[in-house]
């Protein structure tokens, strides 16, 4: 489906005015909370929605639990947190695409087919360690998703790495299901991304760009796929791990296998340059929602992808408040997204 803001109802618009990004904590979803290579026999403490989650391996098996494995069972956990969140004890856990995915929700509904499809990563292995990394943000996960869903911000905030706003044509298309938002941007003769000129052997001054951000709303997972002609494909897996109401953690994998040397080694460094630039914007924004100001953000109604994201998150919250945790048939997370990302063109 394709939409514009004008097609949305007035009820939907009021949702956007009242928007507070960190109020809702979605359930029945797989969260890729750690790189698989970071988890070994020693319990590693992670945080999801302000609750601890310990990860470790024992006898070749992966474990995820609210409790540290060395703490006796009768002393584990706190009554308060268990009452507020039924996500207690041991969690369903699996490993895929080089990540440890933990199920947040009713364990009886944990189903491996609900893991989002990431077609450019190996299903059962991790890419080399230099293509993976972690960046921390001073904002909740939905703010980082919103930031990412507006691909045009890169022309201003990240121009030094990804190229400025010049292009002969710039077309935005927004597609969605009941659980996903996809922003597709087509640019003709856009200023070449400096990183490709410096290290990728691209001599041209301009390049055509087809950039896609595909967001799984419930899990705060984003797939970024950019095709640069001339140039290379930029493939980034971008999960925004919701650590708390004002922190999130990006455990990225940047697939640079098709890039020439030395770009293959330099490209995975870009999240460490680009991430802090984003944090300058989203960090102060996050704290603004805690203040009683009537207008907490400068939301633009022309931001179709952002508006759709807010709407879908609110719809999922309403369904879950009413006890409905199912994924609608239009939005199976394991749906093949290769064509949507532009991988098959
Ligand atoms: Fe950014």
Q: Write out pLDDT tens, residues 1-21.
A: 444 445 555 555 555 556 788
- Residue 51's φ and ψ, nearest 5 degrees, are -110, 145
Tell whether the model's pLDDT for residue 88 goes beyond 60: no
Q: Regarding beta strands 221-229 and 51-58, do their DSSP bridges make them parallel or antiparallel, or are they unpaired?
A: unpaired
Rounded distance from Cα 158 to ligand 1 centre (Å):
7
- Rounded to 5°, the CA angle 271-272-276 comes to 100
pLDDT tens figures, 307-337: 999 999 999 999 999 999 999 999 999 999 9
Query: What average pLDDT does this structure show over 148-177?
Result: 92
- The CA distance from 306 to 153, in Å, is 12
**How confident is the model at residue 76, as a pLDDT?**
52
| From 36-50, 81-95, 196-210, the region with the lowest mean pLDDT | 81-95
Residues whose CB is less than 8 angstroms from the CB of residue 270 and which lie 6 or more positions away in sequence, other chains included: 161, 195, 254
d(CA 316, CA 304): 18
Give 34 Cα–ligand 1 centroid separation in angstroms: 22
Distance between CA atoms of 207 and 197, rounded to whole angstroms? 11
Cα-to-centroid distance, 145 and ligand 1 (Å): 10
Q: What is the mean pLDDT of residues 56-81?
A: 78
CA atoms of 112 and 109, how far apart (whole Å) = 10
Beta carbons of 140 and 244 less than 8 angstroms apart: yes
Q: Would you call 323 helix, strand, or coil by DSSP?
A: coil
Statement: residue 122 has pLDDT above 90: yes
Q: For residue 5, give the DSSP letter.
A: G
Percent of the chain whose predicted confidence (pLDDT) is above 70: 90
Q: Is the pLDDT of residue 83 over 50?
A: no
Average pLDDT, the chain: 89
> What is the 144 CA–ligand 1 centroid distance (Å)?
9
Q: What spacing in Å lies between the alpha carbon of 154 and ligand 1's midpoint? A: 6
Residue 151 alpha carbon to ligand 1 centre in Å = 8
Checking if the pLDDT of 165 tops 50, the result is yes
For the residues of 90-112, what is the DSSP string, one character each? B--EEEETTEEEEEES-GGG--G
CA distances from 338 to 216, 301, 343 (A): 15, 29, 5
pTM: 0.91
pLDDT-wise least confident of 82-86, 93-97, 118-122, 149-153: 82-86
pLDDT at 56 over 90: yes
The CA distance from 186 to 169, in Å, is: 8
What pLDDT does residue 105 have? 94
157 CA from centroid of ligand 1 (Å): 7
Stated length of the chain: 345
The Å distance, Cα 63 to ligand 1 centre, comes to 34
Q: How far apart are CA 66 and CA 84, in angstroms?
A: 14
**How much distance in Å is there from the Cα of 80 to the middle of ligand 1?**
37
Ligand 1 centroid distance, CA of 329 (Å): 32
> Does residue 337 sit in helix, strand or coil?
coil
Q: How far is the CA of 294 from the centre of ligand 1 (A)?
A: 26
């Amino acid at each position: 489906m394709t939409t514009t803001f004008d097609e949305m109802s007035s009820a939907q618009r009021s949702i956007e005015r009242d928007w507070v990004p960190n109020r809702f904590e979605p359930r029945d979803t797989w969260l890729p909370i750690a790189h698989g290579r970071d988890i070994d026999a020693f319990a590693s403490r992670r945080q999801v929605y302000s609750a601890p989650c310990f990860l470790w391996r024992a006898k070749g098996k992966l474990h995820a639990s609210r409790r540290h494995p060395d703490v006796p069972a009768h002393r584990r956990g706190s009554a308060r947190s268990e009452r507020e969140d039924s996500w207690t004890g041991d969690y369903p856990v699996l490993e895929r695409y080089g990540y440890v995915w933990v199920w947040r929700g009713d364990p009886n509904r944990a189903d491996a087919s609900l893991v989002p499809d990431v077609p450019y990563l190996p299903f059962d292995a991790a890419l080399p360690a230099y293509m993976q990394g972690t960046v921390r943000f001073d904002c909740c996960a939905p703010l980082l998703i919103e930031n990412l869903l507006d691909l045009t911000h890169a022309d201003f905030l990240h121009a030094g790495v990804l190229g400025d706003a010049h292009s002969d044509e710039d077309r935005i298309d927004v597609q969605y299901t009941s659980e996903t938002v996809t922003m597709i941007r087509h640019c003709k003769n856009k200023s070449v991304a400096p990183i490709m000129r410096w290290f990728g052997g691209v001599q041209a001054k301009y390049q055509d760009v087809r950039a896609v951000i595909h967001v799984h709303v419930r899990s705060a997972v984003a797939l970024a796929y950019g095709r640069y002609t001339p140039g290379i494909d930029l493939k980034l897996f971008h999960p925004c791990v919701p650590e708390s109401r004002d922190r999130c953690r990006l455990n990225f994998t940047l697939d640079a296998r098709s890039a020439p040397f030395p770009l293959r080694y330099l490209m995975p460094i870009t999240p460490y340059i680009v991430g802090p630039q984003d944090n300058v914007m989203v960090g102060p924004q996050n704290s603004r929602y805690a203040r009683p100001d009537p207008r907490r953000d400068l939301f633009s109604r022309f931001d179709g992808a952002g508006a759709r994201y807010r709407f879908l998150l609110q719809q999922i919250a309403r369904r879950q408040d009413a006890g409905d945790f199912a994924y609608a048939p239009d939005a199976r997370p394991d749906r093949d997204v290769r064509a949507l990302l532009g991988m098959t063109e």
